[in-house]
Structure 1
Amino acid sequence: MTTSTMKGVYPILVTPFDQDSQIDEESLHRLIEFNLEAGVHGLGVALGSEVYKLTEAERAWMTRVVVDQVAGRVPVVINTGANGTDLAVHYSRMAHENGADALMVLPPSFFPAGAEEVLAYYRAISEAVPLPIFIQDVVASPISAGLARRLAEECEWVRYIKVESFPVVEKVAAMSAEAGDVLTVFGGAGGGYFIEEMRRGSVGTMPFCTQPEAFVEIWNCVRAGDELGAWQTFNRYLVPIARLSAQGAGLFHGVHKEILVHRGVIRTSVVRAPAASMDPFTRGELKVLLEELYPDGNE
């Protein structure tokens, strides 16, 4: 599909697994449709999808399944970053071959990479694959506004940046001011600063895929000038989940899968090992919260 300038709500799909930690295709199909029916503007397969725990064959298969089911209704963005340039190029070509509309690429993070190495990394991907590229700015390998601008100017297909290294809100403002004429800015970090980011020049967010209707409503409210309505939805539905899921590294996958189970979208909350698990108190608190937010499951 034509992507023109991508903007709006682009949830990152979780990967549903069965009790044996194998991909649950039926649940994946329901999850995709659940998000599309909520009116999202795009979909992504990325770190929130546990891509780093998928085999190469599973990566290719999942891209194809998502692309085929979406069938051009919205753009599909696939994470293809890696700690080696050749591997990132390989993943990017694989995503292209399987129908991705855009790539999301985080810089190498296993060993720190200097600006020239990062530039060479993105240039190699841009020269190999003719798809729009999102720079993924993450805590482990942050990208300055100056470097982001240089990447966009020197790499043909680098068109977007997803900002999620802290302080996120300040960095979105800096990125918009210093590189907004050459890069389209999205927010990340689970959508936790969505409204503040939009005030500062962000044109979209890539949150989890568990509450898509809330994110779409917030987007619509802000665009219509109704920030009060946006904050009411944000504080009612998103803040309680964000607080609970932010308690421990890796806990968010399990929390968000539990939400999807409660809402009748996927069958299990299995997260591939190794994974943090909720203690009984946290699990009980989540259960009470979900019964309050979604008393009839998916509503």
Structure 2
Amino acid sequence: MTHRTSETGDITGVLPVILMPYTEQGAIDEEDFLAQTEHMFGVGCDGFVVGQVSEVLRLTHAERLRVAELCAKAAAGRGVSVMSTGAETAEAAIGYSRHAQSAGVDALLVMHPATVGLGDEEMVDYYRRVIASVDIPVIVHHAKSLARIPLSIAAQAQLLEEFGDDRVLFKPEAQPTPPRVSQLRDATGGRARIFEGDGGMMLLDCHRRGLVGTIPATEIAEIVVVLWRLLEEGRRAEAERIGHPLSYLMCHMMNSTDYYLSIAKRFLKERGIVKNTIVRGPSRHVLDEETWTEVRHTYENLLHLTKELSR
């Protein structure tokens, strides 16, 4: 497939993360993968991402290559496709990144190695090698739950200075997220193109600090589309009606990746977007019914509010 060049100016707005669907036999369910992208584009998303909550670290090598191809197929000129290509070595990340570019994705989401604690010098070297290996934009992803040592603001600013804001974007998740968004903005003179990545939990605060977009997940796609539009239009009071209960929902869901997936996939199954709620093991979380009752109530109220505020 021929790659179409994408500028960072095109990589904005609401880009939800695919929740990787599986068949009963354990293979990737390509039909449900594409169904999620159809849902996203149908509710007004600007594109989609395959990220860490896509269980990308639990995929085989062949599956990661195939998913990159599915990303390009699903976007098909309708929006931005972003593929996660980070790995434990720069060599592996470069291989995944070059393949994703050749498959036709628009940008890469690159997480740092997670098994060793890297300092700034090693982190910058890893990202420098990956970014230099491709021509498409790279979103530098700091995953708060997997980073042994947080990537400093200075290191992120260095990458921007070396490669420019047409090649490097950021998805910072080191806590506390809102002030670090401001620090990265200020350290780069406002040039850093930053995405919120906490499922909309801190979007009310982070948006005013200077974001170009947000990366939630499939199950809350239309909720965040409306929330983002309200914030972009300066309708803060209406945005708070969605943003506050959304933060409460995320407080429930973001206890762990498996906790999140057990709830999010059940939402999608109940809505008929995917066929089952399978999470690839080893997953130790079993969703209890009392939690499900609470999150489902909050979720349904959010969907009703979204319809009301989108009129």
User: TM-score scaled to structure 1, two decimals?
Assistant: 0.92
- Does the 8 Å CA contact 1:159/1:182 hold for their aligned counterparts? no
Q: Which blocks of at least 5 consecutive residues in structure 2 are unaligned?
A: none
Instruction: Determine which of 79, 82, 91 is the counterpart of 2:87.
Output: 82
Matched residue of 1:221: which SS? helix
- Does the 8 Å CA contact 2:200/2:247 hold for their aligned counterparts? no
Inter-partner Cα distance in structure 1 for 2:64 and 2:187: 35
**Please, which moves more after superposition, 265-274 or 186-195?**
186-195
AA partner of residue 253 (structure 1): L
Task: Name the counterpart of 2:263.
Answer: 255
Matched residue of 1:83: which SS? coil
Inter-partner Cα distance in structure 1 for 2:87 and 2:287: 29
Task: Name the counterpart of 1:219.
Answer: 228
Inter-partner Cα distance in structure 2 for 1:291 and 1:4: 35
Q: Report deviation, 1:232.
A: 0.9
TM-aligned CA distance change 1:247 to 1:133, over 3 Å: closer
**Please, which moves more after superposition, 213-222 or 119-128?**
119-128
Task: Name the counterpart of 1:110.
Answer: 115
Instruction: Determine which of 3, 10, 14 is the counterpart of 2:7.
Output: 3
**Please, which moves more after superposition, 47-56 or 175-184?**
175-184
Residues 198-213 of structure 1: pairs in structure 2 closer than 5 A: 198-213=207-222
Matched residue of 1:160: which SS? strand
Q: CA RMSD in A?
A: 2.1
- Does the 8 Å CA contact 1:3/1:75 hold for their aligned counterparts? no
Q: Which blocks of at least 5 consecutive residues in structure 1 are unaligned?
A: none
Inter-partner Cα distance in structure 2 for 1:13 and 1:173: 28
Q: Report deviation, 1:268.
A: 0.5
- Does the 8 Å CA contact 2:19/2:53 hold for their aligned counterparts? yes
Matched residue of 2:77: which SS? coil
AA partner of residue 216 (structure 1): V
Residues 250-289 of structure 1: pairs in structure 2 closer than 5 A: 250-275=258-283, 276-289=285-298
Q: Report deviation, 1:289.
A: 4.5
Instruction: Determine which of 43, 56, 61 is the counterpart of 2:61.
Output: 56
- The 4+ residue runs of structure 1 with deviation greater than 3 A are 1-4, 155-158, 283-295
Q: Report deviation, 1:266.
A: 0.4
Matched residue of 2:280: which SS? coil
Q: Report deviation, 1:45.
A: 0.4
Instruction: Determine which of 179, 184, 201 is the counterpart of 1:170.
Output: 179
Task: Name the counterpart of 2:77.
Answer: 72
- Does the 8 Å CA contact 1:9/1:42 hold for their aligned counterparts? yes
Task: Name the counterpart of 1:151.
Answer: 159
Q: Report deviation, 1:149.
A: 0.7
TM-aligned CA distance change 1:87 to 1:23, over 3 Å: same
User: TM-score scaled to structure 2, two decimals?
Assistant: 0.88
TM-aligned CA distance change 1:206 to 1:291, over 3 Å: closer
Deviations 1:167-205 (A, max 9, x none): 011111111111254421111122211121111112211
Instruction: Determine which of 187, 193, 196 is the counterpart of 1:187.
Output: 196
Task: Name the counterpart of 1:229.
Answer: 238
Inter-partner Cα distance in structure 1 for 2:8 and 2:158: 22
Of all paired residues, the percent bearing the same amino acid is: 29
